[in-house]
A = this chain, B = another copy of it.
Amino acid sequence: MYAIAIHGGAGAVPRATLAPERERSYRAGLESALDGGFAVLERGGTSLDAVATAVRLLEDHPAFNAGHGAALTRDGAAELDAAIMDGRQMRAGAVASVRHVKNPIELARRVMEKSRHVLLVGAGAEEFALEEQFVLVPNQYFRTAERLEQLESEQRGERVSDLVPPSVQGTVGAVACDASGNLAAATSTGGMTNKRPGRVGDSPIIGAGTYAKNGVCAVSATGHGEYFIRAVAAHHVCAAVEYRKLTLEQAVHELLHVILRKLGGDGGLIAIDHAGRIVMEFSTEGMFRGARESTGRREIAIY
């Protein structure tokens, strides 16, 4: 038994406003990432390789808010965050606020594997990237016409104060269980449209947007990051399964519909347990998502 689940962000996705060709593009991107990650598992690869592959493919696809096509800061730049966690020894790597790394998830993995640190941010993270022979790209690479439009529309909007959150959210992520029962999670994002430079959401925060522990579960979250940080969302789910013996469904439901609702935040998350059971749930109108299992199940969904 092996399985993988992915997400491409959660938020207000009214059916009426998602044009058919846009929906096809999202679905094609999800399918490609899902199948790419699954192929790793199929040929006996680890869950760590599978989630890294799936997230890299989502980063490269312009429709999703990560890597190429990332949401832009209020200054019109892309600032990227990513994290990966290996459930085997609970090792983790993360980067935040990087501007020139084509695939932040690969840098996060390198931080895990080649440094004695877990989280590197900003120019220091890019210095590490260069030492590790990553080729940097201009910030321009990440910017798409659509994200610039979103930024302009957000900036024209009636934002009463800096305290009001934007409506557009997004993040990509993957969780997987390989044939040996190893769990892994990976998350990558451009963050919120019109965010303040230097703002870091839950994606690269181990325990908030990303967590994995063998024998328990792996989690990747998406949504209004500040609330997921305050709730320590991914770890909340893991701890509820491990220590309170909640089912994965119960733990995810409690997190999204009790804990986060009380705080006032919404979003979604995907999780997988050591038996390869997948949960994909959200408190928003939609969540781009997909799941594929060695049993033959293959599913892509938005609403």
List residues of chain A with CB under 8 Å of any chain B CB.
79, 89-92, 96-97, 114-125, 127-128, 162-165, 195-201, 205-208, 211, 225-226, 229-232, 235-236, 239-240, 243-244, 263
Query: How would you classify the secondary structure of chain A's contact residues: helix, strand, loop or mixed?
Result: mixed
Please indicate the chain B residues that have their CB under 8 angstroms from the CB of A263 in the complex.
89-90
Partner of A207 from the list B96, B97, B208, B240 (CB cut-off 8 Å) is: B208
Asked if residues A128 and B240 are in contact (CB atoms below 8 Å), the reply is no
Please indicate the chain B residues that have their CB under 8 angstroms from the CB of A195 in the complex.
117
With A116-B164, A125-B198, A198-B122 as contacts: A90 and B206 at CB distance below 8 Å = no
Asked if residues A121 and B122 are in contact (CB atoms below 8 Å), the reply is yes
Distance A119 CA – B89 CA, assembled complex (angstroms): 27
With A208-B206, A226-B118, A263-B90 as contacts: A124 and B199 at CB distance below 8 Å = yes
Total copies of the chain: 2
Please indicate the chain B residues that have their CB under 8 angstroms from the CB of A200 in the complex.
96, 117, 119-121
Known: A118-B225, A119-B205, A206-B208. 19 other contacts (CB 8 A): A90-B263, A91-B230, A96-B200, A97-B121, A97-B122, A114-B162, A115-B196, A117-B199, A118-B229, A119-B201, A119-B229, A121-B121, A128-B196, A128-B198, A205-B207, A206-B230, A207-B207, A240-B243, A243-B243
Q: Smallest CB–CB gap between A185 and chain B, Å? A: 13
**Chain B residue at smallest Cβ distance from A79:** B124
Partner of A206 from the list B92, B123, B232 (CB cut-off 8 Å) is: B232
Asked if residues A207 and B235 are in contact (CB atoms below 8 Å), the reply is yes
